[in-house]
Amino acid sequence: MTEIVVYTILLIVLTPPLGAYMYRVYTRERIGRAEGLLYRMLAVDPKAEQSWRRYASSCLWFSVISMVLIYLLMRFQQHLPLNPNHLSAVNPYVSFNTAASFTTNTNWQAYGGETTMSYLTQMLALTFQNFVSAAVGMAVLIALIRGLIRSKRDELGNFWVDLVRSTIYILLPMAILVAIVLMTQGVIQTLGANSVVHGIQGFKQTLARGPVASQIAIKQLGTNGGGFFNVNSAHPFEGGTPLGNFVEDFAILWIAAGLTYTFGRMVGSLRQGWTIFAVMWVLMVAGLVLTVPGERHATPAMQAAGIPASTANMEGKEVRYGPDASSLWAVTTTDASNGSVNSMHDSYQSLGMVGPMFNMAIGEVVFGGVGSGLYGMIFFVIIAVFIGGLMVGRTPEYLGKKIGSRAVKYSAIAVLVPFVVVLLFTAIAVVMSSTVAAAPNAPGPHGFSEIFYAFISMGNNNGSAFAGLTASGPYYAITGGIAMLVSRFVPLLCALALGGTLGRDGTVPFTPGTLRTDTPLFGTLLGFVIVIIGALTFLPGLALGPIVEHLMHGGLS
């Protein structure tokens, strides 16, 4: 319990300093020496701003090239250096899925890391993408904010500048710091090959090793989630001590939380930022309330086997973390688009997964992915402002911008498209025998949850999984890849288009007749809009998955 309380409070306390720092990074005029060098290498004029279309096209080209490079690296890793364990080429489905996954900041892993990816692939393709895919999300957010604060301007900033600054001033230094802390907490960092050890009883065991700490730090900070090892942060070399675990968990939400403060500073009203923070914080705590208590008790199956109800549900959990630190992680990793795990979600109480599935399904806006979480939240804000603004009798306005049909259209599409992708791909998967067979607990509600969870996770760029599902088959790999690409780039383009249209508009002065968007009342409205839209879309699926499973095992006790 203590770690949960400390976590939630520490998040409030540490948001302003990081947010203020990031505000300085994004608004400073002077070009630093290191970044200047990078611009010269990229042949970019850092003073030249881009319209939303140019910004978007830079962003897309960067992502396409990244994705192709990752794909090629995986397909040819057997011919490339830094492959001490002599791993062969990755198959094309998994390569496509993984390329899509890491470019979109999802880090869904249709493979086991230590047995599939060479060190070069891990570092150059995966760890590098962990930085830049996160930086893309942050850059797009900053561009959208510029649209909100500018008036009658076409430009939203320069993508390359925002990308470089996010990487070298925010993600890189923080990752180095966190990596060093983690190394002191038992997370390993080496380029040496796997080592073979002999146990005391004489049997041989291969211990997978590698450059773990460097990848783990950014996997958490950049809300990536793709672990070095198959079991992710449950692995002792990846998760480390309980303190290391806490640091990793905190790193999931820190930047996303800090960005709400950066947002407040940029729009010139900290209250605006804190209102959004508060809505996120409350939804996070609600998720914890839904998930944490259940894990302290035995599951119905355990009880049926004679284990007393007061025993914690430790199936799939690490003993060194215990139920609270595990379920805290389960909630935070799905609040964000992180998806790393330190316990196996498949083994949670049925009702305990409703919260994490819901968190992801609404588009991960409870802090969410770095950048993408806040711009995702802004879509909901626009919808809430539109409905609320009408109710006060004026054309709705947000931060001095009139919310017209274009803004509503972009926001609604951004929210809608991931919903469509998740529901349709799940619908197909649950009626095909081959895909149903990939879920070990099918038929039955739990098998449904496994499949539904997979698409909710991929279709919202989370990347976490119910461990049971075998997702390396062609259907999951391909539709999953499509789901990740669509649900990343449609909202991202909507965010830039929204920024573009708002930036071109003039600004209207605030009057007492204007809907205030920095009050608890608006926060409440926003929270309800998110919960109602999410519930209306996903209730049937959740009812046929975790909810009915829970009810079958003894109802609402």
Partner 1 sequence: MATQAPAQAPAPEPRTEAHAGGVKARPLFDPPIVKRAAVDSFLKLDPRTLWRNPVMFVVEIVSLIVTIRLVSDIVNGGPVAFDAAIAFWLWFTVVFANFAEAMAEGRGKAQAEALRKTRADLVARRLKNDGTEETVPASQLRAGDTVVVSAGELIPGDGEIEEGIASVDESAITGESAPVIRESGGDRSAVTAGTKVLSDWIKVRVTADPGQSFLDRMITLVEGAERQKTPNEIALLILLTKFTIIFLIVIVALQPFAIYAGDRLSDSVLVALFVCLIPTTIGGLLSAIGIAGMDRLVQRNVLAMSGRAVEAAGDVSALLLDKTGTITLGNRHAVAFIPAPGVGEQDLAEVAQIASLADETPEGRSIVVLAKERFGIRERELLETRAAFVPFTAQTRMSGIDMDGTQIRKGAVDAVAAWCGREMPAELEAQVERIARSGATPLAVARDRQPLGVIELKDVIKQGLVERFAQLRKMGIKTVMITGDNVLTAAAIAQESGVDDFLAEATPETKMALIKKEQAGGILVAMTGDGTNDAPALAQADVGVAMNTGTTAAKEAGNMVDLDSDPTKLMDIVEIGKQLLITRGALTTFSIANDVAKYFAIIPAMFAAYYGGALNTLNIMHLRTPESAILSAVIFNALVIIALIPLALRGVRYRPVGAEGLLRRNLLIYGLGGIIVPFIGIKLIDLLLALVHFP
CA distances from 209 to 118, 228, 527, 539 (A): 11, 9, 44, 42
Which amino acid, 155? E
CA distances from 169 to 79, 144, 162, 215, 246 (A): 34, 20, 10, 18, 24
CA–CA separation, 11 and 404 (whole Å)? 35
Which of residues 308 and 513 has its CB atom nearest to partner 1 in the complex?
513
Which of residues 111 and 455 has its CB atom nearest to partner 1 in the complex?
455
Which of residues 383 and 502 has its CB atom nearest to partner 1 in the complex?
383
Residue 457 Cβ, how far from partner 1 at the closest point, in Å?
17
Question: Does residue 244 interact with partner 1 by CB under 8 A?
Answer: no
Q: Which stretch binds partner 1 (CB under 8 A): 158-166, 277-285, 289-297, 416-424?
A: 416-424
Nearest to 499, CA basis, from 59, 162, 136, 140: 140
Count residues binding partner 1 (CB under 8 A): 68
Question: Does residue 551 interact with partner 1 by CB under 8 A?
Answer: yes
Per-residue string for binding with partner 1, 449-488, x by CB under 8 A?
Answer: ----------------------------------------
Q: Are the C-beta atoms of 163 and 132 separated by less than 8 Å?
A: yes
Nearest to 364, CA basis, from 491, 467, 499: 491
Q: Which of 16, 244, 258, 388 binds partner 1 (CB under 8 A)?
A: 388
CA–CA separation, 107 and 101 (whole Å)? 5
Residues 296-335 that bind partner 1 (CB under 8 A): none
Residue 525 Cβ, how far from partner 1 at the closest point, in Å?
6
Q: Which of 111, 277, 489, 522 binds partner 1 (CB under 8 A)?
A: 522
Residue 425 buriedness (CB in 10 A; 0-12 / 13-18 / 19+): buried
Question: Does residue 416 interact with partner 1 by CB under 8 A?
Answer: yes
Q: Which of 64, 68, 89, 390 binds partner 1 (CB under 8 A)?
A: 390
Question: Does residue 252 interact with partner 1 by CB under 8 A?
Answer: no
Per-residue string for binding with partner 1, 395-414, x by CB under 8 A?
Answer: x----x--xxx-xxx--xx-
Nearest to 86, CA basis, from 98, 95, 77: 77
CA distances from 21 to 11, 134, 136, 255, 268 (A): 16, 17, 18, 11, 15
Question: Does residue 515 interact with partner 1 by CB under 8 A?
Answer: yes
Residues 484-513 that bind partner 1 (CB under 8 A): 506-509, 511-513
CA–CA separation, 333 and 34 (whole Å)? 33
E strand segments, 439-553: none
Question: Does residue 282 interact with partner 1 by CB under 8 A?
Answer: no
CA–CA separation, 471 and 453 (whole Å)? 12
Q: What DSSP designation does 211 have?
A: S
**DSSP letters spanning 154-202:** -B---HHHHHHHIIIIIIHHHHHHHHHHHHHTT-----SPPEEEE-TTS
Q: Which stretch binds partner 1 (CB under 8 A): 62-70, 333-341, 348-356, 381-389?
A: 381-389
CA–CA separation, 213 and 187 (whole Å)? 6
Which of residues 5 and 536 has its CB atom nearest to partner 1 in the complex?
536
Residue 96 Cβ, how far from partner 1 at the closest point, in Å?
25
Nearest to 386, CA basis, from 284, 493, 498: 498
Question: Does residue 535 interact with partner 1 by CB under 8 A?
Answer: yes
Residue 409 Cβ, how far from partner 1 at the closest point, in Å?
5
Which of residues 364 and 397 has its CB atom nearest to partner 1 in the complex?
397
Question: Does residue 123 interact with partner 1 by CB under 8 A?
Answer: no
Q: Which stretch binds partner 1 (CB under 8 A): 141-149, 300-308, 420-428, 458-466?
A: 420-428
Which of residues 17 and 540 has its CB atom nearest to partner 1 in the complex?
540
Neighbouring C-alpha atoms within 13 Å toward the C-beta of 99 = 21
Site residues (vs partner 1, CB under 8 A): 383, 386-395, 400, 403-405, 407-409, 412-413, 415-416, 419-420, 423-424, 426-428, 430-431, 436, 442-443, 445, 448, 506-509, 511-516, 519, 521-522, 524-525, 528, 532-533, 535-537, 539-541, 543-544, 547-548, 551-552, 555-556
